[in-house]
Structures are given as structure tokens and as C-alpha cells.
A and B are shown apart, each in its own frame.
Chain A
Amino acid sequence: MYIGVDLGSRTIKVAAWQDGRMVDQQLQESGFEPHEQAREMIKAYNPRYIVATGYGRHLAREHFANGVITEIKAHAMGIHTMLPEATTVVDIGGQDSKVITLNVKGQVTNFQMNDKCAAGTGRFLEIMATSLAYPLTDFGPAALASEEEIQINSMCTVFAESEVISLKNRGIPRQHIARAVHSSVADRIMTMLGRIGFGESIAFSGGVANNPCIVEMIRSRLENVEVNVPDNPSIIGALGASIEAARLGVQA
């Protein structure tokens, strides 16, 4: 079995690859010793080769992984397997966001990362959801249900939260504020896409791709472009790493 481990900022994902397909997957919130936690998660498999990706990949390699790839390559490989026609990958994770362009072989041709700032990342949505007293999984559907278009002006998560609080205090129904928050994230994603170009088929990966409002907003901001979300977008990085593990493990 070939294992991919994605040690992200908030969660650890594991994908197991065998006989040309993913046969198992796991996701857990990151604890204090992510490399130990990851090691525990993969104990039950009998790994031939382990590739780590994500924020904690070098830590994993120091402790148990055989190799590393960046989350850029991992998402490219994972998406290319699940959605081979994708020309661009948009990955919105817990603390960063990236856009990756691919060639027909699924190789990375270019990428843009925003990893300096929480704006436009899962963290932004999380903070706003708390501020508006929504469980995270309800946040997207609630925003989708609203039809009001209010603007959040602040780019910065901290200032945007202040803005949300003042909107609340003006008596604006929270689902409208929720929609404005989602619009803000969608706009940032569009800016990143604009800088790099995106072709005809965008694939959406990472935890935030589970949010139906963000997906819908991206779709509606683009014309003649497919926006696809694979089953279980959170696992794409780990999946890509497991495919790389299979590729390297066969040669090892």
C-alpha cells in the first residue's frame, strides 16, 4: 500500500493507494504532535512507501516518511487523477490559498500562493462563522439562502470581523452578512485566478471547496468555464502524495 500524508495547518489527511485507486482515507484535526499523530493514523496499513505533503511535510520526513512533495504538486496530481480535464486547480485551505495551472499531463505550469494573510482562507470563514454564531457546516448553506448583496469593505480578517460586528449591531439579518463574507472570499479567489489565467476547466480542492456558497459564487462569476468539485475535496493533497508514493515506491 502506498500512503500519502497531508499535514495541514488544521487537519491531517491520509490517503491509501493500491492497485491504481484510493482504497482508504482519513481526516483528523491536528493535535500538538502532528508527526506522531500521523504516524498513528497510518499504523494499521502496511506501507511500502510514504510521501508527505503540506505544512508539516519536512517534520514527517524526519520521523517516518520516505519522501516529500509540496502541496502544489500534490494538489495537481490529486486533481489530475480525479478530474483529468482540469486546467486549473484552486485550493483553499485552512490558512492559505493557491491557484495552480496544469498542462494536459497534469504537470504544474504555474502557481500563485497567498500564504501571508488569512483573508480569503478557511480561517477567515471560520472566524466570521463564529462571530455570526453559525456552526461551520451551516455557514455556506445559510449564506446561499440569502439574496441580499451587502459589501464587506475590509480586506483584513481582523478588521472584517469588526465590520461584521457593526453590521450585526445595525440589525442586519445574519444570513445577509454571511453572504457578504462569502462574497469577499469569492472576490479574492477571482483576483488570484485573474493574475494567473485559468483555461476552461477549474477544479476546486481543499477544505473550503466543501462550502456550497463559495463554489456557487465562483461559478456565477465565471462565464463558459466549468467549475468542478471532486468528491471529498479535503483529501486531494493526500491523494496526490499517495500517487507520488506509488510512483516512487515502485522504483524503490
Chain B
Amino acid sequence: MDFWIRGSATNNQGMEAEQQKIVKGTSLWRDAWKRLLKNKLAVFGLIVLVFMVVSVTIGPPLLAWTTGLTADFIPADSDLLNSFPPSSGHLMGTDEAGRDLLARVLQGGRISLMVGIISTFVSLIVGVSYGAIAGYLGGRIDNLMMRIVDIIYAIPYILIVIVLLSVFRGPNTPHWIAWMSEKFGGAGNQGLSQIFLLFFALGLVSWLTMARVVRGQILSLKNQEFVLAAKATGVSAFGIIFKHLVPNALGPVIIYATLTVPSVMLTEAFLSYLGLGVQAPYASWGSLASDGVKNIAIFPWQLIFPGVTMALTLFSLNFLGDGIRDALDPQTRKF
């Protein structure tokens, strides 16, 4: 979808191309982009994130191709009693089983970032639809739907995730999740379907605030005349909500989504730390840190590298989220 509003180019005949350049208008999104680029922290965050995404994407195959090290490769010559500190052979050292830590951090980054993105995406879909429908319908239905949100809010979300993960793990894994992990990583891949379950469990608890944000937006938009005009041309309620109202509420949704990503990642790390999240042979930054903390006195690099990488990413995401919020908020505009 093309949300980027084009600048106007008045094309009256007789007007020169030169004039077109002058008339070229600015738009909400272009303004916001300019303001974002002025925010040093946000730019820093953006650069770090791009670097992270690129390295976790091309990093593991590149590393395997150049050095033969992968996340689950245990070298024959490794001393299982010792973990090697960082060296030219292992840039981040090795873990307690002798696996290259860099390869594992990169592999874990894939999972951690995917948790952040997919769970946010799930929460985006659920939250936006739920909030938009509640806000648009209004009245009793709205009241009922938002009270349900309040109730779920009141239950500690970690508890819900733990219950979801415990109930649906192992043989009780829903078929579609098993199907997805099969498509992704081959049949009978229990560890992977656990990760997919984690994505959806986290997504399903983080849509609540999104629903509230969207509902608020829709409430303020639905009485505008263009909605009545759309109704008068025979557009259905579904069309009005998703074609006319949701795009108008996109600013706050984007802001909130960028801030959801780090919070979901942190939750995943916490769950992995508790042993409920990602399980071996898969790794996430959270599970790596959890493994590392056991040996912190003797092999500190096992905690430091995944920890620092994760902290850096979370900071960057928060900086970027704040930056986008400031850039899109008209009250902080500086001209």
C-alpha cells in the first residue's frame, strides 16, 4: 500500500518544469522523515537496527562459509571442560559445549528479532481489528469489548503466556503451528514449533494496548463527515473501518508498534530465562544470557556478548520508537 503522500505537482499547461519543483508540496510522512533524521539518537537506533538485521540475516551462512562454524557445531578438538575466551578463531569465544558464541548470538538474534516482529505483527492485526471494530460500532458492543480488554489487562500477562505455552506445548500444539514449523524447518521439529507457539502467545497478550489506542483514534474519526460521505455512497461497515478509518489512524499505530517490538523481545528473553521460551538446540538472546549467567564467574563472555547485543538492540528500538513518536507528533514540531 502506498501510504506516502505524494507532493503536489501542479501541471497546468504553460507552467515550466522549474515551477513544478517550487510547487512540490510536503506531506505528513515526508515532514516526519525529515524530523526523524534530525534526531541523533533515532538515527543511531536506525543504523544499529539495520546493522543487526543485516548481520543476523546474512551472518550465519557467511560465518559457516568462511570458518565452518555454525550455531550447533561442536568442534572435535574442543575441550568440553573449558570454554575459550574471545580469540581470532572465535570472535566471541565459545560456550560451555564448545560451540562458537558468535554463531549462536547471530542465530539467537534471528529468533529474538523474529519474536519481536512476528509477535508485534500478530498484536497489530488483532489489536487494530478489535479496537477499530469496537470504536466504530460503539455503544453496548464497544462497552462489552473494552471490558473484556480490561479483564485480560488485569491478569498478569506473563501468567497468560505461561499458561498458553504450557497448555499448547508438546502433543497439544495446534495443527496450524505444527504445520508452519514443518514448512519452515522440517517434520517433527519440536523446538521450532515451540518457538512459533511463543510468537503467537506473545502476540496474543500484547494487542490490548494497541486495541485501546486504535479505538481511541477511531472514536475521534468516526463522526467526521468523510465517514458519513462514504456511508452515503453505500460503502459497507467493513469497508469504512478498514479502508477509510484505519489508514487515518496509522500514525499512532506505527508508533505503538515500534515500541511493542522491544517490549515483546524483553518478555521473550524473560521467558527463555525461566526456561519456558526457546529451547536447545535453538537459541535466543534471552536463552543465551540465561545459559551464560550460570558461568558468569569463570566464563563472563558467555553472558556479556549476548547481553550487550540484546541491550543495544532494545535501546535502539526504543530510541527509534521515541524518535518516530516525536516526528509524528505535531506538538513537538520545530520549523
B is bound to A:
no
Interface residue ranges, A against B (CB under 8 Å): none
- B residues near A (Cβ < 8 Å) are none
